[in-house]
Amino acid sequence: MIKCEQPSEIRSLVRRWQLDGLRVAFVPTMGNLHAGHFSLVELARRHADRVVTSVFVNPTQFGPNEDFARYPRTIERDAVGLEAVGSDAMFVPEPHALYPMGAANAVRVEVPPIDRILCGAHRPGHFSGVATVVLRLLHCVPADCAVFGSKDYQQLQIIRRLVQDLLMPVELIAGATCREPDGLAMSSRNQYLLPDERELAPLLFAKLRSVASAVQMGQPVGAVLSNAQAELTRVGFSVDYIEVREAETLADWYPDARRGVALVAARIGNTRLIDNLEFVLTED
Ligand code: PAF
């Protein structure tokens, strides 16, 4: 696996492959990789001849009280895993390579209105930071396609809008959420859970399933959601939100909507977890 630190290096490598007629896929990550990330690299492999994975802990997407400093940096282990799963190149820029003017003075992009709702309302500036770094990464890695996980559902829809609105010549591919056998969505944050918190955590996905099937059966969305929130709170979650939204726009659910997504963000102890479940309403 080729390792590049400089934007110019990775850009010429990708261009060289493309001039040779090869299709290139890109998987952006923040490292601390687990099976969920590796499944995205495997998906990328199925869509392209060459795969580039980036590992960059992006300062602009962390709020002042968030875990940027303590976010695990496991670069050696990540490199071993990426090589094993077939990534052809790894892009590991230093912060000043991606933010030459410094993160505080960076040119930023916003993706209104969907960067302000749901997680955006609880983490002001987070999605602007994500969109900003994805734009920069895609300038450095001008791949034919880029793969993002569906676990970060709102992030995925925001990146879709970013790419569409800025006319970026890259195809987006969504990877399915990888789950533990008990249903918990894989996440770097799961490692922070204490044993009793880890036992509780799969209830989030169980609750999303019951919310989605209640909506599919025609039960009133407002009541379904307030019951779900009350039950999660009763067992010990501090719920930021549990919502049902239209799947593509994340607009409030409306009577004629057909494709939906149930989304949750909740804390157990000090750990904030998110999850989602897409569903379709069939005509009867
Ligand atoms: O999903 C992530 O790991 C990050 O938000 C991303 C897309 C790599 C941007 O830093």
DSSP for the chain reads: -EEE-SHHHHHHHHHHHHHTT--EEEEEE-S---HHHHHHHHHHHHH-SEEEEEE---GGGS-TTSSTTTS---HHHHHHHHHHHT-SEEE---HHHH-TT-GGG------TTTTSSTHHHHSTTHHHHHHHHHHHHHHHS--SEEEEESSSHHHHHHHHHHHHHTT---EEEEEPPPB-TTSPBP-GGGGG--HHHHHHTTHHHHHHHHHHHHHHTT--HHHHHHHHHHHHHHHT-EEEEEEEEETTT-PBP-TT--EEEEEEEEEETTEEEEEEEEEEPPP-
In a domain, residue 180? The reply is no
Q: How much is the average pLDDT of 104-129?
A: 97
Structure confidence at residue 35 (pLDDT): 97
The Cα-based distances of 283 to 141, 221, 257, 260, 277 in angstroms read 43, 18, 11, 14, 20
Residue 196 predicted with pLDDT over 70: yes
In a domain, residue 130? The reply is yes
| Ligand 1 atom 1, closest CA | 29
Which has more confidence, 65 or 120?
120
Q: Do 146 and 254 share a structural domain?
A: no
Q: How much is the average pLDDT of 24-34?
A: 98
Is the CB–ligand 1 distance for residue 30 below 6 Å? yes
Q: At which of 154, 175, 196 does a domain end?
A: 175
Residue 284 predicted with pLDDT over 70: no
| Number of domains into which the chain is organized | 2
In a domain, residue 134? The reply is yes
Q: At which of 175, 209, 240 does a domain end?
A: 175
Q: Do 193 and 166 share a structural domain?
A: no
Residue 227: which CATH number? 3.30.1300.10
Catalytic-role residue among 34, 37, 96, 139:
37
Q: Do 197 and 133 share a structural domain?
A: no
Q: How much is the average pLDDT of 218-237?
A: 97
Q: Do 221 and 101 share a structural domain?
A: no
In the residue annotation, 37 being an active-site residue is answered as yes
The Cα-based distances of 186 to 17, 21, 39, 94 in angstroms read 32, 35, 11, 27
Question: pTM score, two decimals?
Answer: 0.97
Query: pLDDT per residue over 84-104, tens digit each?
Result: 999 999 999 999 999 999 999
In a domain, residue 197? The reply is yes
Structure confidence at residue 67 (pLDDT): 79
Is the CB–ligand 1 distance for residue 130 below 6 Å? yes
Write out the residue range of the structural domain in which residue 235 sits: 188-278
Q: At which of 151, 175, 199 does a domain end?
A: 175
In a domain, residue 181? The reply is no
Q: Do 168 and 35 share a structural domain?
A: yes
Residue 94: which CATH number? 3.40.50.620
Query: pLDDT per residue over 60-81, tens digit each?
Result: 999 998 879 989 999 999 999 9
Q: State the average pLDDT for the chain.
A: 97
In a domain, residue 28? The reply is yes
| pLDDT over 70, % of the chain | 100
Distance of CA 192 from the midpoint of ligand 1 (Å): 19
Q: Do 100 and 76 share a structural domain?
A: yes
Q: Do 45 and 9 share a structural domain?
A: yes
In a domain, residue 71? The reply is yes
Is the CB–ligand 1 distance for residue 178 below 6 Å? no
Residue 192 predicted with pLDDT over 90: yes
Q: Do 141 and 208 share a structural domain?
A: no
Which one of 58, 108, 274 would you pick to mutate in the ligand 1 pocket, going by the greatest count of ligand atoms within 8 A of its CB?
58
